[in-house]
Copies of this chain bind each other. A is one copy, B any other.
């Protein structure tokens, strides 16, 4: 699966690149953004660790790369940033473009089990099993050292994929994540469509349910979550207090920071992304 370079932009001494490749997991061409810090581009350089950032509803592989201001910090820390897309594109599933919170740009980072979604909507396989190998084969990334971060739907993706694949990601952090999707409208709609009406199948993709079911503390060094208190989705869709309670119940350290005056968008994300990348770098043993 050769990566086709679509664009490369010099940025803080590194390169912000965008690739396309034929995804076996999705069965469609997929795009992905990769920021390579200067440390990865030096002649004879060792591969660098990477943070995967999973974006929210309506976003693409470009959104975080354009809006978060993260490359400056990644360049400082010697971290690569990998930004997958948020759903298959061009699969042509009937109705996939009908709503902004389901289907296109709303893949919810899981493998759908229900027709007609199950064929292409396999974002979990794409991100966990496919992308690291594809990227490592052709880029100077050390995919034995991966961190996971995400926003909103992508925060749900980060927390659930980290808990579903122990040992795969050295750290997990999130910004305004959907913390209890089984209990909120976005998650009920997505899980009903992708996983079917049987709610017992949903708990395996619900960060709070997953955390509550852990037999041992999955991230002893803690999990970082930032949440704006002026976020209009906070009470209706995000519910960090549910995840907070689940962490407390099993003894998982959680740094949940609540920020007065901040909302759900990238002005909030850019305010805190440096802390997330420095948190990730400590776990990945990278940078300062």
A residues apposed to B, CB below 8 Å: 9-13, 15-16, 66-67, 69, 71-72, 228, 230, 259-263, 265-268, 270-271
Contacts and interface: CB of A to CB of B under 8 A. Distances in A.
A267 B67 contact: no
Given A10-B228, A10-B230, A271-B11, A266 B66 contact: yes
A230 B7 CA distance: 13
A207 to B, nearest CB: 25
A265 B67 contact: no
A156 to B, nearest CB: 22
* A interface majority secondary structure: mixed
27 contacts: A9-B262, A9-B263, A9-B265, A9-B267, A9-B268, A10-B230, A10-B259, A10-B260, A10-B261, A10-B262, A10-B263, A10-B271, A11-B262, A11-B267, A11-B270, A12-B270, A12-B271, A13-B271, A15-B261, A16-B267, A66-B66, A66-B67, A66-B266, A69-B72, A71-B270, A71-B271, A72-B270
Contacts of A69: 69, 72, 270
A271 B76 CA distance: 12
A71 to B, nearest CB: 7
Leading 4 A-B pairs by shortest Cβ distance: A69-B69, A9-B267, A10-B262, A10-B261
A71 B267 contact: yes
A67 to B, nearest CB: 6
Contacts of A265: 9
Which one of A13, A69, A266 has the greatest number of beta carbons of chain B within 10 Å? A69
A267 B230 contact: no
